[in-house]
Amino acid sequence: MKFICEKEPLVETVSNVARATSAKSPIPALEGILLSAKDGQLQLTGYDLELGIVTTIEAKTEQTGQLILSAKLLQDIIRRIPADTVCISSDERNLATIHGGVSEFTIPGLDAEEYPELPNFEQESDLVLKQGALKSMIDQTLFAIATSDSKPVHTGSLFDVKDSCVTLVSVDGYRLALRREPIVSDQTTRFVVPGKTLSEISKLLRNEDDEAYLAISQKHIVFRIGGYYVVSRLLEGEFLDYNAAIPKVSKTTVKVNTRSLTDAVERTSLLISDRLRSPIRLAVMENKVQLNCSTSMGKAHDEVECEMSGEPVSMGFNNKYLLDALKASDCDMVKLEINGALSPMRILPLEGESFLFLVLPVRVKNDD
């Protein structure tokens, strides 16, 4: 194998594809990137048996062939090559020579036959979304994905497609994040995509007005984003019935400036640390939201103006969970809906239902 290509696109694609490789694996090939040079193109593949990323860039192919090279070592070398072009060649012993400018490296590779076979990624698309919309959906719900494996299906986000709408839902037992987006589709389907996959997808979604294509099979999903194919396994299991989990009534409704409330929660949280954990008490009365916190470091009090209707209420929250939801709210004003001190609080936009965040309260002293 021998090819020559521009350094800049090679560095970028190797960096992106490397995200799907294993940092440490009993199967050495999974720590590498499969390079396939043919017909003036270089295909790069990373795959850790759960997530795969494939893309192609232009290259001057002087000898067709395939080779697996260590993703980390390849990244480190080509990033530091002192030239605008990079030449990579290999011999029958799978020794690779990487040359650029006055620099030359010879490193061992692995035979392409050792690379695992990816699921078919060139499929007909089932769903089409604008890249900007998909990125917004992922970024606004990723924070609520479970990190514990106690229920593996909740380590991913549910895509619920029906009635020309796709709803993305994440839940971890303490909060729920939901984001809706209209689509042109008459499909009805549900599937759960791992959080790791969605995190990597978000990094590839850079062209807001371009389209992202999703192809769903029984066990896998393929995202086509620009020149990249991202193949991922789907999570199995029974996802939470999110509609049943969301309270339908509220005794208190609060309209408040998102930035003002976020800033006040952050200020009140200054007394909280990993060592000094304490809930924040949120009290709603007439035209203000009061925030209080007490730890061994001292006490904090803050207030934010609001518009309230219904009953006054006081309840406790984990400061991080409350902040995550507020920071994911992409609007100037939010609506808080509360059905008593021990009921989850809903955070919504003032108009419409494009997003909904549910935060469970924490018991604090003197709760009613």
How high is the pLDDT of residue 312?
96
Parallel/antiparallel/unpaired status of strands 333-338 and 60-63: unpaired
Which residue in 12, 39, 31, 44 sits closest to 230, CA to CA? Answer: 44
- The fold of the 127-243 domain, in CATH, is DNA Polymerase III; Chain A, domain 2 (3.10.150)
Q: What's the confidence (pLDDT) of residue 275? A: 81
With a cut of 70, list the residues of the chain below it in pLDDT. Answer: 365-368
pLDDT at 127: 94
At residue 89, the pLDDT reads 97
Q: Is the fold of 2-114 the same as that of 127-243?
A: yes
CA Rg value for the chain: 25
Q: Where are the domains positioned within the chain?
A: 2-114, 127-243, 247-359
Domain 2-114 -> CATH class: alpha beta
> Which DSSP category does 23 fall into?
S
How far apart are alpha carbons 233 and 237 in whole angstroms? 13
Give the tokens for residue 347: 């955070």
At 366 the pLDDT is 58
Please tell me the predicted confidence (pLDDT) of residue 367: 42
pLDDT of residue 252: 97
Map 79-114 to HEC letters.
HHCCCCEEEEEECCCCEEEEEECCEEEEEECECHHH
d(CA 277, CA 271): 9
Element (H or E) spanning 262, and its range? helix 258-268
Task: List the CATH code of the domain at 247-359.
Answer: 3.70.10.10
Q: Is the pTM of this model over 0.95?
A: no
